[in-house]
Amino acid sequence: MSAATVPSFEEYLDTLGRLSSHVDPIPSTPEAERIRRASASLADLEDIDVASLVAWLNENSKDADILALSVGLTQEKLKNNLRNHFDTSGIITLARTRPRDLVVWLEVEFDLIRSLNVQRHKSYEFGDILVARAGTRVTAKTAGASGRKVEDEIEAIAKDLGLIVETRTRFTGRNGQSAPCDLLVLDHEGVQHIAVAAKGFDSTGSKLTDAVREIEEMASVRLPTQFMMAVIDGIGWKSRQSDLQRIHRLWETRQIDGMYTLATLADFRRDLSEFARLRGLFGPTGPG
C-alpha cells in the first residue's frame, strides 16, 4: 500500500491484524449463577476434547461465552476477535450454527482444551481470587504493550535506514503550530521533514477517537514540504470503522502521504526511504 496508490477502505481493512499477545488466565473467580451452572456442567464432562465440547455447545449454546471466559477473553475482546475471524460478534449464533468451527478456533488460537483441563477441577485459594480480580490491570498492561509494538516496529525501520529520529514527540508546522507524532525524522540541522503516527489497538474506546483527532491535527498543521504518514493496526479498529475511515479519507485526499499496517510495513519502509531521499536525508552511499 504505497503512497502513490491508495487502496479502497475495504482493502485496507483486510490488512488489519491482532496486536496483543494472549494472556493465559488460569486463575478464575465465580461470577453469576449462570456462569456457575455452566462451569459445573463443563466440570462434569468425562473428557474434554473437540467432540465433547461440540456436544456441550449443542446443549448449551446460550452459555458459549463460558468457553471464551475460560481462556480469558473478556466480552469486548471476544467480540473483536470473533468479528476478525468469523465476521460476526454473535457467539450464541455461532454456537448454534457452527459449533465445531467455534471450538476449533478457540482451541487453535487460545489453547481451550488445556485451559479447561487445568481449571475445571482445580481448588482455588484466596490468592487466586485476588489474581483474578487484578485481571484488568494485566489487560491494561497488555494493551499498552500492543500499542508500543507498532511504535517499536517503525522506529526500528527508520533507524535501520540510518535516519535521525525522535520518538513520542511533537513537530512544528505552519505558523509555528505543533502537533503530536510518534516518530519524527529530522536532518542534521534539526529541520523536521517526516512525521509518523503509530496507532495500534486491539480493544475499542475513546482512545481510538483521540488517535484520529491527533492524525487530523497532524494533517492540518503540516507544512507543504513535510511528509505525514500513519501506521495503524489492531482489530479494535474493526469495531470503530467510521473512525478508521476518517483517517483513510485523509489519505484519499492526500492530506497524509501514506497509511499502513504491520502487514504492509514493506511499503512503509519503501515510502519512508523515498521521502527521506527526496529531502536529501541520505549520504552519497544511500540509505543504511
> What are 79-122's pLDDT values in tens digits?
889 999 999 989 999 999 999 999 999 999 898 998 898 787 77
Each domain of the chain, given as residue ranges in start order, spans 9-14+145-278, 33-123
Please count the other Cβ atoms lying within 10 Å of the Cβ belonging to residue 91.
23
Give the position of cell 464432562: 45
- pLDDT band with cut points at 50, 70 and 90 for residue 268: very high
178 bridge partner residues: 172
Percent of the chain residues topping a pLDDT of 70: 83
- Would you say 141 and 20 are in contact if contact means Cβ atoms under 8 Å apart? no
Please count the other Cβ atoms lying within 10 Å of the Cβ belonging to residue 216.
17
- Would you say 186 and 166 are in contact if contact means Cβ atoms under 8 Å apart? yes
Residue of 199, 202, 183, 179 lying closest to 255 (CA atoms) = 179
Average pLDDT over residues 41-54: 92
> What are 221-263's pLDDT values in tens digits?
999 999 999 999 988 898 889 999 999 999 999 999 999 998 8
Statement: residue 151 has pLDDT above 70: yes
Local structure of residue 232 (DSSP, 8 states): E
| Domain 9-14+145-278: which CATH number of 3.30.390, 3.40.1350, 2.30.29, 3.30.450 | 3.40.1350
- Would you say 185 and 287 are in contact if contact means Cβ atoms under 8 Å apart? no
> What are 179-204's pLDDT values in tens digits?
999 999 999 999 999 999 999 888 77
**Pairwise CA distance, residues 246 & 253, whole Å:** 11
Q: What is the pTM of this model?
A: 0.61
- pLDDT band with cut points at 50, 70 and 90 for residue 124: low
- Would you say 27 and 73 are in contact if contact means Cβ atoms under 8 Å apart? no
